[in-house]
A = this chain, B = another copy of it.
Amino acid sequence: MKKLGKQTIQFDNPPTILETASIVGPKEADGPLAKYFDQCLDDELWGEKTWEKAESKIIKETVNSVIAKSGISSDTIDYCFAGDLLNQCISSSFGLREINIPFFGIFGACSTFVEGLSLAAVFTESVAENVLCAASSHFCSAEKQFRFPLELGNQRPPTAQWTVTGAGSAIVTKSGTGPFITTMTTGKIVDMGIKDANSMGAAMAPAALDTLITHFKDTGRTPNYYDAIITGDLGYIGKDILIDLAKLQGYNIKSNYNDCGVLIFDKSTQDTHSGGSGCACCGTVFSGYFFNQLRKKEIKKLLLIATGALTNSTTSQQGESIPGIAHAISIEL
């Protein structure tokens, strides 16, 4: 593998995404992508007593599912990279505590899924045969932790996004027949001073822009190289901002760009305001829908840019702005 510019790696022997799996909650099951997910839950608790325990169960079962679907033995998985939005990443560490695989906890907020795939690609290219990645989020546990208790019934402003309940998981393997991770562009932290914790798309769009433009410059590619350019969870507002900001820099992405947070819910029938968000937004939409499209060759070249807001409720209360980050990988047949 070699560096292209300061932020991009090109893989000489591109690792294969061997298999993916996804489990989603009931609201996602009512959305337009329902048929692409491996499992749709009837309720947010899935038989558990708390939302946190439910989220741990979701990531655990998603990982079990991807291992079962892949046909490989879990003994042959060298490393696991996983993370989530809960304090101290407890969904991952509790959900995966029985997995018995060397474990690296990661935190990139909602960019975690692609952070994991990036690290997995470097590891499989250099030292590992198979690497497991997983990320989860849960609407109820996230609202409780980052905003207000659901029982309060607070109103949400139109800029707010709806945290996806679910988990996505993928196994990256050294040698395979694709889809291949061909490049990765690792984001820097970008903070443009947005302070509204109910406008995460606006806070993260500048980070997505930075990674997107850097990716084009480092690789020499242009937007039309890709069949699809997909961000993780900018939602409707962040998506429009990214299109506008990219245009100002001379890149027209309007025709082939979309966002997982826009795709996962139906704007007209599901009241999610600016769309979906959370680690599971990119995680489930990629693992469910886009991996399917790649396998069917409906999409042959995908640029996946997961976006994260590196904030918590304390920093908002202390008047801090919201740093964003975005990690990109290109996936090609």
Contacts and interface: CB of A to CB of B under 8 A. Distances in A.
Interface of A: 1-3, 6-7, 9, 49-50, 52-53, 75, 78-79, 83, 85-90, 93-94, 96-109, 115, 118-119, 122-123, 125-128, 186-191, 310-315, 318, 320, 323, 325
26 contacts: A1-B126, A1-B127, A2-B127, A9-B127, A49-B318, A52-B314, A87-B313, A90-B314, A93-B189, A94-B320, A97-B189, A97-B191, A97-B323, A98-B189, A99-B188, A99-B189, A101-B188, A102-B186, A103-B188, A104-B106, A104-B108, A105-B107, A106-B106, A106-B107, A122-B127, A125-B126
A235 B277 CA distance: 40
Contacts of A107: 83, 88-89, 105-107
In the complex, the 4 A-B pairs of residues with the closest C-beta atoms, listed nearest first: A93-B310, A102-B186, A126-B126, A88-B312
A323 B128 CA distance: 25
A1 B228 CA distance: 36
Contacts of A96: 189
A44 to B, nearest CB: 16
B94 A315 contact: yes
Contacts of A311: 88, 90
Nearest to A53: B318
Query: How many copies, total?
Result: 2
A318 B188 contact: no
A90 to B, nearest CB: 5
B90 A315 contact: yes
Contacts of A313: 87
A108 B105 contact: yes
A320 B94 CA distance: 9
Nearest to A189: B97
A127 B78 contact: no
Give the one of A83, A118, A125, A127 with max B CB within 10 A. A127
A328 B12 CA distance: 30
A272 to B, nearest CB: 22
Given A7-B102, A96-B189, 8 more contacts: A3-B128, A93-B310, A93-B323, A97-B323, A104-B186, A105-B107, A105-B108, A126-B127
Contacts of A52: 314-315, 318
